[in-house]
Homo-oligomer: A and B are copies of this chain.
Amino acid sequence: MKGLWRQPFGHGDPHEAYAPPLDPSCWAGWRDSRRVPDDVGYGAVAAYAGPPEMPPGNGMKVLVLGAGIAGMVLGWELGRAGYDCTILEARTRPGGRNWSLRAGDLVEETDSVQRVRWETGEHLYFNPGPARLPWHHDGILSYCRLLGVKLEMMCNENRGAWLQDDAAFGGERQRNRAVVHDTRGYVTELAAKAVDKGLLDHPPSMEDAERMRSFLRFYGALDRDLVYRGAARLDDEEDAANRPKPLDFAQIIRSDFWQGRMMFGEFPNQAPTMLQPVGGMARIGEAFGRKLWGVITYGAAVTQIRRTESGARVTWKDAQGAEHAAEAPIVVCTIPFPALRGVETDFAPATRAAITGLEYIPAAKVAFLAERRFWECDEGIYGGVSWTSRDITQVWYPSAGLQARKGILVAAYIWSSKLGEAFAAKPLDKRLEDALEDLECLHPGQRTALRKGISVSWKKIPYNGGAWAEWTRSARQESYPTLRTGDGPVLFAGEHISDMPGWQEGAVRSAHYAMLRIAERAQARKT
Contact = CB atoms under 8 A, between A and B. Distances in A.
Contacts of A16: 232-234, 239, 242
Contacts of A378: 3, 7-8
Interface stretch (A138-146, A279-287, A325-333, A416-424): A138-146
B273 A403 contact: no
A430 B399 CA distance: 40
A35 to B, nearest CB: 13
Given A145-B403, A234-B16, A272-B384, A219 B38 contact: no
Interface stretch (A40-48, A349-357, A449-457, A499-507): A40-48
Contacts of A166: none
Contact of A135 (B4, B9, B235, B382): B382
Contact of A250 (B37, B189, B207, B242): B207
Contacts of A380: 7, 9, 135-136, 138
A195 B43 CA distance: 29
A525 interface: no
Given A144-B403, A382-B275, A211 B41 contact: no
A377 B4 contact: yes
Interface stretch (A105-113, A258-266, A313-321): A258-266
A62 to B, nearest CB: 29
A203 B248 contact: yes
Contacts of A231: 37-38, 40-43
A174 to B, nearest CB: 10
Contacts of A115: none
Interface in A221-235: 221, 223-224, 227-228, 230-235
A254 interface: yes
A474 B77 CA distance: 67
Given A199-B190, A202-B227, A259 B41 contact: no
Contacts of A184: 40
Residue in A22, A159, A180 whose Cβ sees the most chain B Cβ within 10 Å: A159
Interface string A70-100: 0000000000000000000000000000000
Contact of A38 (B151, B232, B259, B377): B232
A237 B44 CA distance: 17
21 contacts: A7-B378, A12-B232, A13-B232, A19-B217, A22-B211, A23-B214, A40-B220, A40-B231, A41-B221, A43-B230, A43-B231, A153-B153, A153-B382, A153-B383, A159-B266, A181-B266, A186-B202, A187-B191, A206-B253, A218-B258, A273-B381
Given A19-B217, A19-B235, A273-B384, 5 more contacts: A19-B233, A21-B214, A145-B403, A157-B272, A194-B194
Interface of A: 3-4, 7-9, 12-13, 16-19, 21-23, 37-45, 135-136, 138, 141, 144-145, 150-155, 157-160, 175, 177-178, 180-181, 183-191, 193-195, 197, 199-200, 202-203, 205-208, 210-212, 214-221, 223-224, 227-228, 230-236, 239, 242-245, 248-250, 253-254, 258-259, 263, 266, 268, 271-273, 275, 377-384, 399-400, 402-403
